[in-house]
Amino acid sequence: MPGRVAIVTGAGGDIGRAIAATLLADGYAVLVADIREGAARATAEALKGEGRVVEASACDITDLASVAAMAATARGLGAVVALVNNAGGVTSASLQEATAGDFRADLALNLEGAFNVFKAVEADLKANRGAIVNIASVNGLGVFGHPGYSAAKAALIHLTHMLAVEYGKFGRRANAVAPGTVATAAWRARAEANPNVFEEARRWYPLGRVARTEDIANAVSFLLSDKAAAITGVCLPVDCGLTAGLADLARTFTQSSD
């Protein structure tokens, strides 16, 4: 795909870096964007290799001027054909501790930020029959804490539906990926507070493990590829079965060890 550019926001983090690496292997030129310029540059440097085109961009997705500058940098690499809205973050863990400011901040970052980036490359994706993958969360499908973040991710899933329906006539596809727990640096504070947090989480997952960053990246790669040419408007949970059902609860209801 010479000159075919994929934008990955939040690429300074573990999941974004894995997505960028996979898309580079798929043959895209990749713009890695992150609000932390150093993290974006570190990702780009780590992923550079023979025949690979990867560029870093400092970008605050809540700031329209910053987003416009990032989009211009992406166009300098070639035709923008893929957008992965991966940047996100959380503030309050519960409604009881959340402030109005916390809630607005979560909506701005996790929902409005994705919209801002989409609008900045809307014409490119339309002209190039591009594809979008929004990184949502199982928090957008059920109640797992972090209210502002969860509400924003639920809205992001619905925005994905709207993109798929309204822009399908241009040949453009939009899908979402909803990760469950992924062992990343974002969990560092919780892991430091409770070193057994991942072991405790595993019991809720039918596969007996949490997802890896490459699991998320592989799902994104598929949804952007021609193998998913007839798939648009879906939210694909990559959650080791969490949203399918809870085995411990089923055993309680049935009193069966199976």
pLDDT in tens, 33-51: 999 999 999 999 999 987 7
For residues 181 and 198, give the distance between their C-alpha atoms in angstroms, rounded to a whole number. 9
Unique residue bearing structure tokens 């809870």: 246
Among 28, 149, 167, 205, the one annotated catalytic: 149
Q: Is 22 left (phi over 0), alpha (psi -120 to 50) or beta?
A: alpha
Strands laid side by side in the 173-179 sheet: 54-58, 29-34, 4-9, 79-85, 131-135, 173-179, 235-238
Interval 111-140 mean pLDDT: 97
Phi, psi of 131 (to 5 degrees): -130, 150
Tokens coding 160: 């994905």
Confidence tier at 1 by pLDDT (50, 70, 90): very low
Interval 22-40 mean pLDDT: 97
- The verdict on whether 149 is a catalytic residue reads yes
Q: Over 90: is that where the pLDDT of 193 sits?
A: no
Q: Are 143 and 201 in contact (CB under 8 A)?
A: no
Would you state the pLDDT for residue 109?
Answer: 97
For residues 153 and 140, give the distance between their C-alpha atoms in angstroms, rounded to a whole number. 5
Average pLDDT value over all residues in the chain: 93
Q: Over 80: is that where the pLDDT of 191 sits?
A: no
